[in-house]
Chain A
Amino acid sequence: MALDLPVELSDAVAVLGAFPVLAGANLTVQRGEIVLLRGPNGAGKTTLLRLCAGLIELERGRGRVLGHDLSTDRWSVRHRVGLLGHANGLYPDLTVTENVAFWGRTVGASDAEIAAALKRMALDGRLADVQVSRLSAGQRRRTALAALVARRAELWLLDEPHAGLDASGRDELDEVLRQAARAGATIMVASHELERAGTLATRQVEVVAGQVRDLGATS
């Protein structure tokens, strides 16, 4: 399992309603990569992320995520990936620690793992006991990423992660993602902010009309 590629899609077709959002997509992602998905609205970036998260069915073609076949075993994919869309997936009435602990415990994380996740996102200090509703947008994003770490997510699927963040929040997020990749996480980022996300990514792919085109490694 350890040698499996995080993402292998071959002629993947995903349908929303009657409309094929992904129409024969091919993509391979290596462990530790940060891959930027670029492309216009409606091109299929979010669908690609949700397919990789096991949230939607693979209609045709072949797909494996973290070694699990998306056609037959997409349920097993789910607890090994972390999907963050525009929302953070947090409970505003709970504190930072309570949120991270809750998501960690859904996969049986220990107290030590939860503490380590908080520490890795620099949330173990004064922010630990603050309710999420009182945090800035950047701090909420960081809490959501700490929850992904606590959930032991191996593949991070992020949809417009910079949206709503100010300049310092964006810098902070990029640093967190680079650290996560260095620690072994594989990251796919869908973004319209090409300049910023381009400097973060190790490779870029373009999603257009449900097809994926590899643009190669970023310099």
Chain B
Amino acid sequence: MSETRRAFASVRATARLIAIKDLRIERRGRVLTNQVLPFALIVMVMFAFALDSDAVLERVAPGLVWLATLFSTLFVIARSFAVESADGALDQLRTSGAPSAGIFLGKALALMAQLLVLVVVLVAAAVVLYRADISGQGGVLLVTTALAATGGLAAVGTLYGGLSAGAKGRETLLPLLVLPVVAPVLIGATRATESAFGTNGIAVSEGWPWLGLLVVFAVLFSVTGAIAFGSLLDE
């Protein structure tokens, strides 16, 4: 096996190991199901109370879904790195010799899996609370949008979660770092979801270019994160 293939195999094995570990910890701790999902649903209900108009809610439903996703994402990112720093596991990861790209991809994959669950629940909430409507073609667009958007959010979240993991005031630093950077995801995912929901008569075909933006964003931050994560962990 060549050196490059061996390096890729090592990154893949580490990513798998880290992702399984993180998802196992989540399954045991149930922070997503017992805390993050209820929070996200409360946000959706509060939006409904605040706007108090079926017509307005139907129009803004895609944006509310992704705003609630963004806010909830911050908790999931914080949790993902809290488990590493609670008992000094981060230092062990640094000295484990595991490839940092593998650590990054593993944590990002686990984060993405949790965010996908979150988005599914929030879209269902939008259908129930805001009377959002999804057609067959819109469904395909919505699923691919959710995959690309959560991929981008997970990559950014892992990158900045790693950066702020050892910093003082990381709880407040994380939103400051993450929210401005993920603005393109909010815009792209909202526009694509408007097309998927047919909000204001927007055609499904108009959503695909926005999906392109989301894919480019996810790939860009995944590659950047895989390259830079080792240095960030060392800081």
Contact = CB atoms under 8 A, between A and B. Distances in A.
Bound pair (A, B): yes
Interface of A: 53-55, 75, 78-83, 85-94, 98, 102-103, 105-108, 131, 147, 151
Contact of B95 (A53, A86, A91, A131): A53
B91 A87 contact: yes
Contacts, number: 73
A79 B83 contact: no
A105 B103 CA distance: 13
A88 B89 CA distance: 7
Interface class of chain A by DSSP: loop
B28 A55 contact: no
Q: 9 nearest interchain CB pairs?
A: A79-B97, A87-B88, A89-B92, A93-B28, A106-B96, A106-B98, A78-B95, A93-B25, A89-B88
B36 to A, nearest CB: 16
A140 to B, nearest CB: 8
A85 B92 CA distance: 10
Given A93-B83, A106-B98, A85 B88 contact: yes
B193 to A, nearest CB: 34
Interface string B3-29: 000000000011001000100110011
A81 B95 CA distance: 7
A92 B31 CA distance: 14
Interface in B19-76: 21, 24-25, 28-29
Given A87-B88, A89-B89, A94 B95 contact: no
A82 B92 CA distance: 8
A91 B83 contact: yes
Contacts of B87: 87-92
Given A78-B97, A93-B25, A93-B83, 20 more contacts: A53-B95, A75-B97, A78-B95, A79-B96, A79-B97, A85-B88, A85-B91, A87-B87, A87-B89, A88-B88, A89-B89, A91-B21, A93-B24, A93-B28, A94-B25, A106-B14, A106-B17, A106-B93, A147-B92, A151-B96
Contacts of A81: 95
A54 B95 CA distance: 8
13 contacts: A53-B95, A78-B95, A78-B97, A83-B95, A85-B91, A89-B89, A91-B83, A91-B87, A93-B29, A106-B17, A106-B93, A106-B96, A108-B13
B176 interface: no
Contact of B96 (A78, A92, A93, A94): A78
Given A79-B96, A131-B28, A89 B91 contact: yes
Interface in B78-106: 83, 86-89, 91-98
A107 B96 contact: yes
B18 to A, nearest CB: 9
Contact of A86 (B13, B17, B29, B88): B88
Contacts of A83: 91-92, 95
B6 to A, nearest CB: 11
A82 B94 CA distance: 11
Contacts of A88: 87-88
A146 B93 CA distance: 16
A127 B222 CA distance: 39
A66 B150 CA distance: 43
A131 B29 CA distance: 11
Contact of B21 (A78, A102, A151): A102
Contacts of A147: 92
A98 B87 CA distance: 16
